[in-house]
Amino acid sequence: MVSAGEQIQFRADHMVTEAVTDGQYVFAATQDGKINCFNLRSHKREKNLIELKPVQADAYPPVIYSLALSPDKKLLAAGGGLGEVYIFSLKSHRLFKSVSIEGIENILVVRFLDSNRIVLGLMDGTVRLLKWQANRELYRNKIELDPINNIQLSEDHQTMAITSATSSIKIASTETGAVIKGLEKHTDTIYGLAFAGNHTLFSGSKDKSLLKWNIKTGKSTLLYRSDFYINSVAWNGKNEIAFHLPDYQIGIMKLSTKKVFQVLSGHSAFVNTLFFLGPHLLMSSGNDARIIIHQL
């Protein structure tokens, strides 16, 4: 796809809130209500999956806040600013179904628990489990007073890490939504979350710290103290993590030494998404409307 040290760059229509890839295409949710699509093989732009229209003539389009792939990579879910969850077929790139969440304007986080159920993080501070084909809510749990800003699932999908505008991480059961424990060490809003397996979690915060958590014990280890918000973090499946550095750069750290051994450039604004496509292939996206594939 790309040689060592090289990059592939795609330009989205607006600030990218979240980006995902099925290995063939990159899908980017944007602040102007679109899901842009880019072909990884040809490096060309494809037709948008959706373009939300403004509710009023003089208003901005509703935001697409979050994207998620189903475990079999056959479906893409999107949550937006109209209280709708959109389900797309990745075979046809067409809208398969839309589901309205009554009484909710902004769906901030979507995550597939399995192909039939989706976890939602909402503006009202609730986390809900939705059986999307039947449009049936399986549970609704109030996690925080503030809007939910991130949810990440453990490798076995049995637990989830949840954050809001507070400095706490809530670990909850995906099957019941019940909070198992709170992880308390950060002193400001937590933006980046990444599981390593089922019992280790990495978190990056507005307090400029990058922490590694043992979920069983609730204990944390400081991995890095930055001069800037740590807005995103990703684990490569082995002994390295990527995270947001000052000047909108990305650091690659070896966990065994806690040393940053590589710094990646290319962005000019907050990096909102970091995702390893393989041990040495990293995707990033951000508020500069760029999606970058980095060969490490």
Mean pLDDT for the stretch of residues 227-242: 96
What pLDDT was estimated at residue 219?
97
Domain range 7-148, CATH architecture: 7 Propeller (2.130)
Q: How many whole angstroms separate alpha carbon 40 and alpha carbon 23? A: 7
Condensed to tens digits (0 to 9), the pLDDT of residues 126-179 reads 999 999 999 999 999 999 999 999 999 999 999 999 999 999 999 999 999 999
Tens digit of each residue's pLDDT (9 = 90 or more) over 19-38: 999 999 999 999 999 999 99
Label residue 58 by pLDDT band (50, 70, 90): confident
- What pLDDT was estimated at residue 104? 85
Arithmetic mean of pLDDT, 42-50: 96
- Condensed to tens digits (0 to 9), the pLDDT of residues 74-114 reads 999 999 988 999 999 999 999 999 999 988 889 999 999 99
Q: Which amino acid makes up residue 213? A: W
pLDDT band at 253 (very low <50, low <70, confident <90, very high): very high
Residue 53 has pLDDT above 80, yes or no: yes
Residue 142 buriedness (CB in 10 A; 0-12 / 13-18 / 19+): exposed
Cα→Cα distances 24→21, 37, 44, 141, Å: 7, 10, 12, 36
- DSSP-derived secondary structure letter, 113: E
| Structure confidence by residue, pLDDT tens digits, 182-197 | 999 999 999 999 999 9
What is the reported pLDDT for 4?
61
Strand partners, 119: 111, 129
In this predicted structure, what is the pLDDT of residue 11?
97
Residue 163: other Cβ atoms inside 10 A: 28
Q: Is the pLDDT of residue 60 over 90?
A: no
- The mean pLDDT of 52-74, rounded to a whole number, is 91
Please determine, for residue 2, whether its predicted confidence score (pLDDT) is greater than 60: no
What pLDDT does residue 55 have? 81
Token pair recorded at residue 126: 């609730």
CA trace torsion 265, 247, 110, 217 (10° rounding): 100
Give the residue-averaged pLDDT of 52-61.
83
The pTM assigned to this predicted structure is: 0.95
* Percent of the chain whose predicted confidence (pLDDT) is above 70: 99
Q: What torsion, rounded to 10 degrees, do the Cα atoms 225, 227, 230, 231 define?
A: 180
